[in-house]
Amino acid sequence: MIEVNGLVKRFDGFAALDGAALSVPAGSVYGLVGPNGAGKSTLIRHLTGIFRQDAGTVRIGGEDVWENAALKARIAAIPDDWYYFLQSSIRDMMRFYRGFYPAFSMERYEKLKEVFQLDEKRPIRRLSKGMQKQAAFWLALCCMPDYLILDEPVDGLDPVMRRQVWSLVLADVAQRGTTVLVSSHNLRELEDVCDHVGIMDHGRVLLERSLAQLQDNMVKLQVVFPDGMTEVPSDLPVLHASQIGRIHTFIMRMSAQEAEDRLAAYSPLLVDAVPLTLEEIFIYELGGADYAVKDIVL
C-alpha cells in the first residue's frame, strides 16, 4: 500500500505540494490525474525517493521511502523523461539495473526480448522516442517490482505496443499483486486500466475514489421534455447543460436513479442515462465550466 499524508514541498517559496494526501490500495492500478502544474510529477519524485519532503509522510508498504535502499529495490519507475547513460545500449542498462535490483530476472529479460524486438546492442540514444519507451518497460518489468510508478508511460508508443505494454503490466497486477500508480493525461486510456483514481490540483489531491464510485456520483442524462417546455427547470442542480434540437443533455452530481426521480416531476418524454467518461468527470469535478474549453475570438 502507498500512503501519502500532509505532503508539502516548496521551491523558492512556491508550494508545489500543499498538504497532498493519497492512498493506493495494494494490488490496484491507481490513476493520478490533474491539469498541468498540479504537482503530479513532484509527488511521484517523492514516491521514488528523489525529493525529500518539507513536511508530511511518504510511506510504501508501511516504510518511509527517503534513504530506504531496501524499499527502493522493490520499486521500479518510468518517468516521462527516461534517464539512460549517453553511450549505453539496452544490454548495458540491463547490467546497471541488475546491480540495484536483487530480484532482476534474466529469464524474463530473454522472454521480453521476443516481445519488444529491439536491438539490445544498439545505443539507446539512436532509438526513436517510442523505442526508448519500450526499452524502459522492458527493463522495469524485469526488475520484478512490487511497486511500479509510471509518469506518462505510453507517450510515444503506437496503439499496438500500448496494448501490449498494458497487457504485461496488468498481468503482473493479476499474477504477482503488483501495485501500480500511473500519472497520465490520456484519460481515455486510464479509464480502461485503472480501478482507483485521484484528481489533483494546486498541490493537493482533491478527491480519490474507485472509478465505479466516481461514475456513480455523477450522471449524464439525455432528456426530452413535453412540447412547449424549452427552459431548463431552475431547481435542478445541473452542473452543465447543452441542447441539440429537443434533446437536452444534463450533467448532474447525483446517482442516475436520483436524477431520474427529480426529472419525473416534469413528465419528460424521454430520460436516458449515458455513462460518463473519466475526462468528463475530471472536467466537472475540477470546477465545471471554469475548466471547460473556452471559445476565444482571435
pLDDT (tens digit, 9 = 90+) per residue, 240-268? 888 888 888 888 888 888 888 888 888 88
One domain, residues 144 and 85: yes
Contact 281, 215 (CB under 8 A): yes
Tell me how far apart the alpha carbons of residues 256 and 127 are, in angstroms, rounded to a whole number. 49
- As for how many domains the chain has, the answer is 2
Q: Does 281 fall in a domain?
A: no
Read off the pLDDT of residues 188-234 as tens digits, 9 standing for 90 and up: 888 889 989 998 989 999 888 887 787 777 888 899 888 766 677 77
Supply the mean pLDDT for the chain. Answer: 88
Residue of 284 and 54 predicted with greater confidence: 54
Overall average pLDDT of the 171-177 stretch? 95
Tell me how far apart the alpha carbons of residues 31 and 170 are, in angstroms, rounded to a whole number. 13
- Residue 177 confidence (pLDDT): 95
By residue range, what is the domain housing residue 77?
Answer: 2-211
Whether residue 295 has pLDDT greater than 70: no
Q: Does 240 fall in a domain?
A: yes
Q: Does 226 fall in a domain?
A: yes
Q: Which of 164, 192, 211 is the last residue of a domain?
A: 211
Which of 148, 156, 146, 84 is CA-nearest to residue 120?
84
Q: Which of 170, 195, 211 is the last residue of a domain?
A: 211
Max mean pLDDT among 67-76, 265-274, 280-289 falls in 67-76
One domain, residues 162 and 259: no
Residue 118: CATH number of its domain? 3.40.50.300
**How many DSSP H helices and E strands does the chain contain?**
10, 14
pTM: predicted TM-score of the whole model, two decimal places: 0.83
One domain, residues 161 and 233: no
Q: Assign 114 a pLDDT band (cuts: 50, 70, 90).
A: very high
One domain, residues 73 and 99: yes
Q: Does 286 fall in a domain?
A: no
One domain, residues 108 and 256: no
State the DSSP code for 177: -
Q: Does 284 fall in a domain?
A: no
